[in-house]
């Protein structure tokens, strides 16, 4: 679903064969049926990406199916909203398992071969909240800061190892109006400064056209999210906090609908 499926649609149009992983067999089957109409080879497998052994098994299967993996897109996402102290700590741990630890597993499987070939591209989907913290999404925000940090340091590690052909991109979507973050919203001032993203294909377009084709290290949609990052770097913290409250961050999950804890795990 969501960004994962939208990205697959664009990849098959570019001539890619695609392996897709998802926890939901129903959604996996629907996606595979649609994508196979492109005429490309589609390899769907049910997977909980926080299960290290299953990721290893399916990584080997992907290499068997496709010969090698040139592009890895980590798009796993799990969210539970609400103030940190009002939730069981297991919610926070699960978000870290799916949103961060799963990346350790998948990248560790595919990066060594990319390093050996000095070729490949890894795209990690972070979030706009990695640049502007969102009250009510403490664990999710933490996990997406981690995704950004992991992407950044791995980029430096491969360069230090002399492997300039291995690329990394961190993707930071803003508020997408449908799907997992339906109902997440800022106030009128916040929406003016950082307009919501109308659909998942806008993010998929950024992944393919900016991340993969132009090899940009950062893809931020909408670009206005950079304002939060620049403000954090240049302004005193008390001003940054006041600005966040002014744009409605304190009540951003007040009308949250989303998928209410549904685990959506997709890696390609």
HSE of 58, CA atoms in CB hemisphere, 13 A: 25
What is the predicted pLDDT for the residue at 30? 94
CATH of domain 2-251: 3.40.50.720
How do the domains of the chain map onto residue ranges? 2-251
Instruction: Per-residue pLDDT tens, the chain, 268 aa: give them.
Output: 889 999 999 999 999 999 999 998 999 999 999 999 999 999 999 999 999 999 999 999 999 999 999 999 999 888 887 888 888 999 999 999 999 999 999 999 999 999 999 999 999 999 988 988 778 889 999 999 999 999 999 999 999 999 999 999 999 998 776 655 655 666 776 666 777 788 899 999 999 999 999 999 999 998 888 888 888 888 888 887 777 776 666 665 666 565 554 433 333 3
What's the predicted TM-score (pTM) here?
Answer: 0.87
Q: What is the pLDDT of residue 257?
A: 60
Q: What is the pLDDT of residue 1?
A: 83
Q: Counting Cβ atoms within 10 Å, is residue 177 exposed (0-12), middle (13-18) or buried (19+)?
A: middle
How far is it, in rounded angstroms, from Cα 83 to Cα 211?
A: 33
188 CB contacts (<8 Å, ≥6 apart)? none
Phi/psi at 96 (5° precision) = -70, -35
pLDDT of residue 26: 92
């Amino acid at each position: 679903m969501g960004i994962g499926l939208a990205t697959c649609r664009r990849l098959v149009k570019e001539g890619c064969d695609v392996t897709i992983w998802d926890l939901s067999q129903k959604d996996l089957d629907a996606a595979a049926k649609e994508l196979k109409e492109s005429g490309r080879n589609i390899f769907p497998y049910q997977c909980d990406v926080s299960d290290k052994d299953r990721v290893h098994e399916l990584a080997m299967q992907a290499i068997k199916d496709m010969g090698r993996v040139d592009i890895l897109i980590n798009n796993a996402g799990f969210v539970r909203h609400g103030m940190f102290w009002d939730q069981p700590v297991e919610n926070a741990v699960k978000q870290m398992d799916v949103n961060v630890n799963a990346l350790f597993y998948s990248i560790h499987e595919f990066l060594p071969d990319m390093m050996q070939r000095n070729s490949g591209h890894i795209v990690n989907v972070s979030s706009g909240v990695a640049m502007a913290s969102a009250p009510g999404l403490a664990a999710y925000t933490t996990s997406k800061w981690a995704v950004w940090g992991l992407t950044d340091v791995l980029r430096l590690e491969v360069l230090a190892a002399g492997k300039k052909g291995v690329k990394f991109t961190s993707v930071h979507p803003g508020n997408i109006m449908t799907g997992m973050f339906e109902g997440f919203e800022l106030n009128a001032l916040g929406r003016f400064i950082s307009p919501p993203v109308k659909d998942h294909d806008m993010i998929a377009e950024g992944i393919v056209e900016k991340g993969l084709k132009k090899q940009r290290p950062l893809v931020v949609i909408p670009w206005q999210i950079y304002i939060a990052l620049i403000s954090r770097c240049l302004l005193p913290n008390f001003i940054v906090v006041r600005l966040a409250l002014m744009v409605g961050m304190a009540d951003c999950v007040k009308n949250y609908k989303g998928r209410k804890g549904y685990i959506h795990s997709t890696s390609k």
